[in-house]
Structures are given as C-alpha cells and as structure tokens.
Amino acid sequence: NLSRSFKLRQRGLLFSATKRLKAVDGISFNVAPGEMLGIVGESGCGKSTTARLLLGHIPASSGEIRFGGERVSARVDANWRRMRRHMQMVYQDPLAALDPRIPVGYQIEEPLIVHRPDLSAADRKTLVADVMRQIGLLAHHGSRYPHEMSGGQRQRVIIARALVLDPELLVFDEPVSALDVSVQAQVLNLLEDIRARIGFTGVFVSHDLKVIRQIAERVAVMYLGRIVEIGNVEDIFANPAHPYTRALVSAVPVPGRSRRSRIVLNGDPPSAVNVPSGCPFHTRCPQMRATCRSIRPNLVETGGRAVACHLVNDPSPSGIEAI
C-alpha cells in the first residue's frame, strides 16, 4: 500500500499555494526471488518514483516495502548500508550517473570500497576484472573516462558497477531508453544472458512495452500513480483486460497486423496534481461509462491477473449502464 506525494509550491501574484502531487498512490505488488517484474506506463505515471522508493532512495509517504521480510527504510543507518549492498539501481542516463573526471574502472570498483571493507585491493581488482569480462568490456576500458566511451559502453559500466556487489535485487530505471535501438537490443540481450548465468531478482521500469516483453515475466501497468493491471506479460499481451493496457498493447507493432487496429487515446495523461475523480483513466477511456466518473475501481484479482476497471470487475448493468 505504498504512496508517495510531493509538495509543490505554486507562486501566484497575491499568494502562494501548496499543492500535493500524488506520484504513487497506494500501490501493492510483490516480486518473487529470481523473477523480473516490468513496470510500464507513460512519463509521470510514477514508475521511476516507485523504483526509487523500492531501494529506499526516497522515503514513502505511507505504506511499506519489505525485502526478504525486512523493512526497507530510507533512513541512512547501519541497517540501510547492509541492505543496500544487496539492492542496486541501474539508471537511465549513464552520463549523469558517472563521474566525468574518474576512470570507469575505479567507478566500478567504488561500491566494493564502500560496501566490502573485508576485501583486499587485489581481491577488488579481481572482482572488477571478472565483472567487466561478464559485461563485455575489455580490461583496457577500465582506464578510460566516460566521455571516451560510446553510450552502450557507458551503460555497460553502469550495469557492471551494480553487479560488482553481487546484489540479490536489481532495479532498472529505463536503462536502455537513452540508447539507439540497435544498442538497446545488445544491452537487453546482455542482461538476459547475465540473468540466465548468475540469476538475480529484478524490477525493470520502462515506457516501452516491447522492451518489457523481452525482459520481464510479469508486468505492472501504471497510470497516474496507480497500478491498473498486473499479471503475466504474455497473458497480458495476448489478452489485455484494462482499456489502458489495450491501448498500450495495440501501439506495439506486430508484423502482419494492420495499423488500423491501433487504439489511439485522446490527449496526454492528466497531471498527477489534479487526478480525475472516479477512475483516473476516465478522461481518456474509449469505454468510459457514467459511473466511471464518480466511482474509483479497485484492483481486483481474477485468474492470476489483477485489473482496476468497472467493465472488467463489475460488468453488470446495475454497476455500469444504469446511470
């Protein structure tokens, strides 16, 4: 039941007002050991905030996160440091995440210096060399600076830096969005490969359902801070239940399928500062009914899938058509 809101100060001519932006609004999900869960949605849906909450990078407004039964908190203490070693984040923008003045080999080694004081310098060098080999970087790449590398190589450095601690959970925040499509495919294949070899639990955030389909087994679809559908990726692709998921799936090009089957939604998602009443998707939903404006649908589980939509969960005329 995780929530996170941010205060926005709006300065007007006569007074300044404080509004609350609900970035994440009461979401619940679990990730099984060894599983990769995708989180998909448009920008501003709360997926990156969810990623940062999971690792305790920012505190939750309410609700909680448990990692192997232990509560994850954003308070930096001994407990946080111990857990942090097992939970690592892979960021979207390697240029922003890397220090331009430091050779990448040292940046890959740095987490070991922080989290593994038990290791000797020689042990650290061995681990760095191992992880660089795994990630497809050559030994001499270690002495390079970030600007001397390609975008794909920099993203490999970021992944190597996360992997060097041998974490149990990796959270990826749009790790391939900044890359060219051909490089995207290389990095995704590499991730699949590493996961098959060493096995880790993952949460993979992306706006791109195609990418999620390649990399994840389950997917949570987010809209305005809430999960609207969650379940097995292939089931959802074959048979999306929520109208928003249907639109997302229809936008993924499939060879042989006519472009006319694409569902085009009106406009952009509304701002998370002014979340629409009732079902937050009602302002764009092709199947909207009068009830949808006033009653908020809960996420209801049906057959291994959970969906938050009146049409799916209560298709009876009394619920929908009567008004």
Secondary structure letter of residue 207 according to DSSP: S
Closer of 230 and 279 to ligand SF4 (Cβ): 279
d(CA 195, CA 175): 15
- Binding-site partner at residue 221 among ligand SF4, Mg ion, none, CB < 5 to 8 Å by type: none
The angle subtended at Cα 195 by Cα 34 and Cα 234, nearest 5°, is 65
Asked whether position 227 contacts ligand SF4 by CB under 6 A, the answer is no
d(CA 29, CA 24): 13
Closer of 23 and 149 to Mg ion (Cβ): 23
Asked whether position 214 contacts Mg ion by CB under 5 A, the answer is no
Give the x/- contact pattern for Mg ion in 38-57, rule: CB under 5 A: ----------x---------
d(CA 207, CA 173): 10
Closer of 48 and 153 to Mg ion (Cβ): 48
Q: Binding residue for ligand SF4 (CB under 6 A) from 79, 232, 250, 287?
A: 287
**Single-letter code of the amino acid located at 42:** E
**Torsional class of 304: left (φ above 0), alpha (ψ -120 to 50), beta (otherwise):** left
CB 275, min distance to ligand SF4, A: 13
Asked whether position 41 contacts ligand SF4 by CB under 6 A, the answer is no
CB 266, min distance to Mg ion, A: 23
Asked whether position 167 contacts ligand SF4 by CB under 6 A, the answer is no
The pairing of beta strand 226-232 with beta strand 218-223: antiparallel
d(CA 223, CA 101): 39
Asked whether position 288 contacts ligand SF4 by CB under 6 A, the answer is yes
